Structure 1
């Protein structure tokens, strides 16, 4: 069967513009093979530009990450900056990139467009962690920043993440405005390009690392911890090494096979420390050197995973546990006189709100992602004079203070090491500190369930279940009363007695069920996959003298009952 003429014409027009010989050769092979399915996938439309910027498979065509897409995206981004940000041309745009395939070339293309459109291109010459790019935006008082990275995605992916002048990732309406500006970009030949660059030197990293050191709460605590670290073939190793050394930690051992940037990620199937097997190498190193603390960053160093040696075995902390331990430490050991603020994503543990309340701090929840956490923090700083102390999301993303207005796995690693040293000085491990927190603030147990519903039929079922959740919410879950329903789509909270109050969240397709006793269940469709996602949290108040195991059993029984009832209603 002959290739669709319209599809062939689209591919041949792309070949005329594409400056990359690799993707041109790839596209020619597909045309010669008349691979209609593959070509149709690549030319189904442009990669969607959203609040996360762009992310996709590397390859030829508008629905892939490549030089053409980055050149056009940068032209649209710069046009919006010039129209919206005062003195954008002089303030310029910071550009960084990770160690993935094509990252340097894509960063060079972005810098060329920035310069060509009359803005100052402030560039890192070498691979750079995403948190350092976000720091440099504020440090340089730039109008914006972009980083070429696909974070913890598989090796065939790359991405394009953008930041606004306030230091945080973009949120609406900037995403739609940038997407509209990209759509207005003409032929590639019409995009101006220039050679001028302002190179960001080691002084920027020096100021960042000094800021990380300033986050320490107990630098006087003995630094005799043995630490094992992996960068998972990413760009974080030299910065984590230096930051830990500056904090006084000398016994730091790195996984040599994963220390240097390598976009093929040869030793892991999936370079995400949350994934099964990703921490096997650092776990083996920890056992070899007798590490007290195990730290793992994702490839662009904005996430952190933690394991702890406790009573002869290594215990993996969950993302919620890491977030709540860091928050408790920063609030317990910080300035109690300040009007303090902590912020988390709504799918993260409500335990953070209990920790905040115990310390007279403000606890807030936002939609998922640090773009929302940071922009909400900035908003409350400006409107109410609150001091942002900490923000986190359960997917291993943490922000300690305002050094970086994004998640930062490097500073989080150093603060976690500081906390571990502080605990050790008192004869404890982080696991003992976790128990202290559970006894003081409440023991929270969490669970997640994802139901895969592919295709048009699945999408219809997901819509139907969300409609049912709103129209016919359960009145009990796990034998306990549902006391209120939060509907983010209408931005309202409706109590069981019918009383309605407004929500501060941006509108989203999320429904939360509050359950008597401080428990909750949540339902939302995935934004990237054909899945219906369910989240559950139960709170257990530990009795005097009750063991952790007994409290966990009680909580586990309630959690199982809530999950069973919820799945019977919606799953």
Structure 2
């Protein structure tokens, strides 16, 4: 029987039959007593979807939410899928980590219990770790998979369940579909074990793996003695997350003086009391306390990690006194150029050196690679694609020295094939220290790169939209027009009819990775993988502007990534701003569709 035809009262009874957590049981019981059908429908009618991002949702009762029951069900499906598809999985085991969010510890314990119940070896970090410690653990221990309980930079009400495959990368298709199927086949809890961390069969690998991790990160250090002599002060914020002890340790490994902490934000706090959105990408508002701390101690540079410390960003006070928060694309370009500089300084050959970025990231990295004569590729959005592609290229003999996505995620070397905000912090401290020692600044360095490779300006943002039907309608209009025609060849339900102009600019070609269409190819088939699970359309304009519109796998957002290159920064920024305004009004129609504008923390 389809869940659509099941009476909501039956779904509520099924929840109450399965759930053993008194708090979440009480939530559903109260909704039943209140006859709150709308809320029961929202929570119980549809299951939380397991995808390449794993799980992420609000923490509350219901099949569509993050809670003890849905975590156990996900763990059971994952466990059985791994046992079927990974050789010697039971002996190789699983690595589990968790952040500081509400219920993260319980979710980690319940996950461990599900695997232990099937005789799988479990390595669980009992204390808080930053997300990269899980893929690092999978790599070092040759484990069958890894799970990190975190919602990264989402609001405090959310939590998530991120899965890494045996290659220490986030899962990609078809594993997501296979795991989702196994979950649905194994919904009856076979255990509900909050005491799994006390099980003698469970191993806490912290004492072995944390030193091993920093030993590998330390190899990114160019000259520890020079760093020790640096007089540059760095202020740091952990955004109320887990990053502070790891950030302190990486600075020590690189030889630097201790970080200056933003005291209000460096201790883990699941309430995130000083920021509405604990995401350093959200703008200067999120870093206001760090800027205040920096000004009090006379520091010119601020570093930030997101709450699970897999992302990193940097801001610098200008000579005018203004603080500039660098974009992910700007930081990524600086990282790439510094990584290449250090690679060459070590005497290694440029043969088969490569860099990677996501397809919505800046074209500047491609320009750098072309000028410098190294390999560059773009991938689908997300580090699952960057990491897996890096591994594939390594098998072909490439040295992938750097990879990034514009959402402040950076991968340096092969320590983990995932973004890592801690290794990034140490590496950037090394770059900034060198620049200041030479009498330069971070902004000066970026300007020198623009002068060498061209000026690039980005306009990246999003609208919030909680109605999936509205989002689907917006993208359908982009594909098929306001009055869609029938497709005479029968390839699509309607004839594709993308915009021919955005404002005054002609559309040169369009790539749609949702339906599998690329007008620039002779056969109209895109090179990158196609996925109907999310919307993603890229427009290439005749003036060289490229922008992508896509939906998020973890948040109710329509995101866009727009970039223009020009002969000056002012011209590039002016063009980017004008095209962004034309694009949003023409394609997204925010007023008509009642889209919520981005708000800063």
User: Structure 2-normalised TM-score?
Assistant: 0.87
Residue matched to 1:554 = 571
- On the 8 A contact 1:75/1:113 being kept in 2, the answer is yes
Give 1:396's match in structure 2, choosing from 408, 413, 418: 408
Question: What secondary structure is seen at the aligned counterpart in 2 of 1:274?
Answer: helix
Q: Closer, same or farther in 2 for the Cα pair 1:533/1:182, shift >3 Å?
A: same
Q: Closer, same or farther in 2 for the Cα pair 1:17/1:386, shift >3 Å?
A: same
Residue matched to 1:506 = 529
- On the 8 A contact 2:463/2:558 being kept in 1, the answer is yes
- On the 8 A contact 2:360/2:561 being kept in 1, the answer is yes
* CA-based RMSD: 2.5
- On the 8 A contact 1:75/1:191 being kept in 2, the answer is no
Question: What secondary structure is seen at the aligned counterpart in 2 of 1:256?
Answer: coil
Which ranges in structure 1 are unaligned for 5 or more consecutive residues?
Answer: 542-550
- On the 8 A contact 1:356/1:363 being kept in 2, the answer is yes
Partners of 2:556 and 2:128 in 1: CA distance? 34
Residue matched to 1:409 = 421
Greater shift in the superposed pair: 473-482 or 11-20: 473-482
- On the 8 A contact 2:480/2:498 being kept in 1, the answer is no
- On the 8 A contact 2:479/2:497 being kept in 1, the answer is no
Residue matched to 2:549 = 523
Q: Does 1:436 align with 2:448?
A: yes
Question: What secondary structure is seen at the aligned counterpart in 2 of 1:130?
Answer: coil
Residue matched to 2:278 = 271
Greater shift in the superposed pair: 88-97 or 453-462: 453-462
Q: Closer, same or farther in 2 for the Cα pair 1:179/1:5, shift >3 Å?
A: closer
Q: CA deviation at 1:22?
A: 2.0
Q: Does 1:128 align with 2:129?
A: yes
Residue matched to 1:315 = 324
Partners of 1:107 and 1:559 in 2: CA distance? 44
- On the 8 A contact 1:117/1:192 being kept in 2, the answer is no
Question: What secondary structure is seen at the aligned counterpart in 1 of 2:10?
Answer: helix
- On the 8 A contact 1:224/1:251 being kept in 2, the answer is no
Q: Closer, same or farther in 2 for the Cα pair 1:478/1:17, shift >3 Å?
A: closer
Partners of 1:162 and 1:518 in 2: CA distance? 38
Give 1:348's match in structure 2, choosing from 348, 361, 373: 361
Greater shift in the superposed pair: 16-25 or 520-529: 520-529
Question: What secondary structure is seen at the aligned counterpart in 2 of 1:295?
Answer: strand
Q: CA deviation at 1:123?
A: 0.8
Which ranges in structure 2 are unaligned for 5 or more consecutive residues?
Answer: 483-494, 589-601
- On the 8 A contact 1:491/1:505 being kept in 2, the answer is no
Residue matched to 1:545 = none
Q: Closer, same or farther in 2 for the Cα pair 1:432/1:486, shift >3 Å?
A: same
Partners of 1:9 and 1:158 in 2: CA distance? 27
Partners of 2:191 and 2:102 in 1: CA distance? 27
Partners of 1:77 and 1:378 in 2: CA distance? 23
Residue matched to 2:598 = none
Give 2:268's match in structure 1, choosing from 261, 273, 295: 261
Deviations 1:137-184 (A, max 9, x none): 111111100011111111111111110011110010000000001011
Partners of 1:225 and 1:398 in 2: CA distance? 23
Q: Does 1:421 align with 2:433?
A: yes
For residues 64-463 of structure 1, the aligned pairs below 5 Å read 64-189=65-190, 195=199, 196-219=201-224, 220-221=226-227, 222-276=229-283, 277-311=285-319, 312-334=321-343, 335-382=348-395, 384-448=396-460, 450=462, 454=467, 456=469, 459-463=472-476
Partners of 2:525 and 2:53 in 1: CA distance? 27
Deviations 1:524-550 (A, max 9, x none): 345556665443211123xxxxxxxxx
- On the 8 A contact 1:459/1:530 being kept in 2, the answer is no
Question: What secondary structure is seen at the aligned counterpart in 2 of 1:188?
Answer: coil
Greater shift in the superposed pair: 35-44 or 430-439: 35-44
Partners of 1:317 and 1:210 in 2: CA distance? 29
Partners of 2:524 and 2:25 in 1: CA distance? 56
Partners of 2:236 and 2:570 in 1: CA distance? 33
Residue matched to 1:544 = none
Partners of 1:238 and 1:526 in 2: CA distance? 31
Partners of 1:455 and 1:337 in 2: CA distance? 47
- On the 8 A contact 2:311/2:410 being kept in 1, the answer is yes
- On the 8 A contact 2:51/2:176 being kept in 1, the answer is yes
Q: CA deviation at 1:555?
A: 1.7
- On the 8 A contact 1:154/1:271 being kept in 2, the answer is yes
Q: Closer, same or farther in 2 for the Cα pair 1:361/1:6, shift >3 Å?
A: same
Partners of 1:476 and 1:333 in 2: CA distance? 44
- On the 8 A contact 1:458/1:530 being kept in 2, the answer is no
User: Structure 1-normalised TM-score?
Assistant: 0.91
Q: CA deviation at 1:401?
A: 1.2
Q: CA deviation at 1:337?
A: 2.7
Residue matched to 2:488 = none
